[in-house]
């Protein structure tokens, strides 16, 4: 993939963020998702690539989606697998909450895990703790490993967990261990990525969330030198059969190279609402401002980009990287 593609992809997430941010706090998650999806599709189709969606919006949302198998790009350029979540955190935007993102990841054709749309148990850490955690180990053992890797006490470790009834046991074990906890209502892509940046204050992510989001987060963590492990959690016979038909062993622990093979992969995200990592979209009369991150696994380059977009004519960019 050409380096110039990284900047082209930021245009996609910026457009989706600008479109969906208009719906912040208005209680209409599907409308916000639809706006992000339409904007993302429009810009994707201007990019010189032969892209195929291998991970689209979650079917769980029952919202308009960039569907699996959809072709994106001009039809010229590199052949790529595309994983998208035009609005990671539809409920977040609907309620005006924290950490909603427009996100995507691309890799050479055949290199992204075609994760079925079901739950996945996940464990994510930043670069310092790579190789020191194990999704099959206890919460306490993983906390000890991260504390040792980051030269801090367990009481100073911050764990992110989706605030769901299914995570009551994890939360109880974290509290018993004395760790600090950041409970999030939605958006575990952001939760996973935040483990790789010291300034977010997050050290480890525990718990289950969507499997497709795990693949997107894996591309980001691969670019950042972090780690994610996963185990698929089919909830019924139909989901189990779906895994079998895709040739996926549900008992297998998925590691980084299972999520994304090779190192030629790109991740891009734009903040829709404010979060630890990215500022959300702001509308300032004649223009809107965006804050994005784009990463390329092959080079390890991470760019934070501030965009300024005219609201009176076709959006343009003023970038600072």
SS (H, E, C) 154-175: HHHCEEEEECCHHHHHHHHHHH
Instruction: Answer yes or no: is 210 a known binding residue.
Output: yes
CATH fit for domain 4-111+264-310, picks 3.30.540.10, 1.10.760.10, 2.40.390.10, 3.90.180.10 = 3.30.540.10
Instruction: Answer yes or no: is 119 a known binding residue.
Output: yes
| Predicted pLDDT of residue 2 | 63
The residue among 254, 248, 169 whose CA lies nearest residue 214 is: 254
| Predicted pLDDT of residue 315 | 45
Instruction: Answer yes or no: is 252 a known binding residue.
Output: no
- Could you tell me the mean pLDDT of each successive run of 10 residues in the chain, 321 residues long? 83 97 96 94 95 74 68 94 94 95 96 91 98 98 98 98 97 98 94 96 97 95 97 93 86 95 95 97 94 95 95 52 42
Residues 166/171/174/180 CA torsion (nearest 10 deg): 130
| Predicted pLDDT of residue 59 | 46
Q: Where are the domains of the chain?
A: 4-111+264-310, 119-259
Instruction: Answer yes or no: is 239 a known binding residue.
Output: no
Alpha carbons 312 and 238: distance in angstroms, whole number: 49
Provide the pairing of β-strand 204-210 with 158-162: parallel
CA angle 194, 97, 20 (to 5 degrees): 95
| Predicted pLDDT of residue 316 | 41
Instruction: Answer yes or no: is 8 a known binding residue.
Output: no
| Predicted pLDDT of residue 242 | 86
Using alpha carbons, list the distances in angstroms from residue 259 to 40, 55, 100: 23, 12, 23
| Predicted pLDDT of residue 80 | 96
Instruction: Answer yes or no: is 134 a known binding residue.
Output: no
According to DSSP H, which parts of the chain are helical? 4-21, 29-44, 90-95, 139-149, 168-177, 188-193, 211-224, 237-245, 256-259
CATH fit for domain 119-259, picks 3.90.1150.10, 3.20.20.70, 3.40.190.90, 2.40.110.10 = 3.40.190.90
Instruction: Answer yes or no: is 249 a known binding residue.
Output: no
According to DSSP H, which parts of 230-320 are helical? 237-245, 256-259
Whole-model pTM? Answer: 0.92
Instruction: Answer yes or no: is 164 a known binding residue.
Output: yes
Instruction: Answer yes or no: is 307 a known binding residue.
Output: no
Instruction: Answer yes or no: is 195 a known binding residue.
Output: no
Instruction: Answer yes or no: is 166 a known binding residue.
Output: yes
Instruction: Answer yes or no: is 128 a known binding residue.
Output: no
Instruction: Answer yes or no: is 165 a known binding residue.
Output: yes
Residue 184 near residue 163 (C-beta atoms within 8 A):
yes
């Amino acid at each position: 993939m050409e380096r110039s593609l990284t900047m082209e992809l930021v245009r996609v997430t910026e457009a989706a963020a600008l479109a969906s941010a208009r719906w912040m706090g208005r209680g209409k998650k599907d409308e916000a998702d639809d706006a992000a999806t339409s904007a993302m599709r429009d810009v994707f189709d201007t990019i010189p690539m032969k892209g195929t969606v291998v991970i689209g919006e979650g079917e769980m949302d029952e919202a308009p989606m960039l569907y699996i198998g959809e072709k994106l790009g001009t039809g010229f350029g590199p052949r790529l697998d595309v994983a998208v979540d035009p609005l990671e955190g539809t409920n977040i935007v609907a309620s005006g909450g924290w950490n909603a993102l427009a996100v995507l990841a691309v890799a050479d054709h055949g290199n992204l895990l075609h994760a079925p749309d079901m739950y996945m148990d996940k464990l994510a850490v930043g670069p310092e703790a790579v190789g020191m955690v194990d999704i099959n180990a206890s919460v306490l053992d993983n906390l000890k490993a991260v504390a040792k890797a980051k030269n801090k006490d367990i009481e100073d470790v911050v764990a992110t967990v989706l605030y769901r009834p299914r995570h009551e046991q994890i939360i109880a074990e974290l509290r018993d261990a004395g760790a600090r906890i950041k409970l999030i209502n939605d958006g575990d892509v952001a939760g996973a990525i935040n483990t790789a940046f010291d300034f977010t204050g997050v050290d480890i992510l525990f718990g289950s969330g969507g499997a497709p989001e795990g693949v997107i987060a894996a591309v980001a963590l691969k670019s950042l030198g972090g780690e994610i492990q996963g185990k698929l959690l089919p909830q019924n016979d139909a989901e189990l059969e779906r895994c079998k038909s895709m040739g996926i062993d549900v008992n297998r622990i998925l590691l980084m190279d299972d999520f994304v093979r090779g190192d030629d992969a790109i991740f891009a995200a734009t903040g829709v609402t404010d979060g630890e990592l990215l500022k959300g979209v702001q509308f300032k009369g004649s223009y809107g401002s965006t804050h994005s991150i784009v990463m390329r696994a092959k080079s390890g380059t991470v760019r934070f980009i501030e965009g300024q977009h005219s609201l009176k004519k076709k959006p343009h960019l003023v970038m600072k990287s």
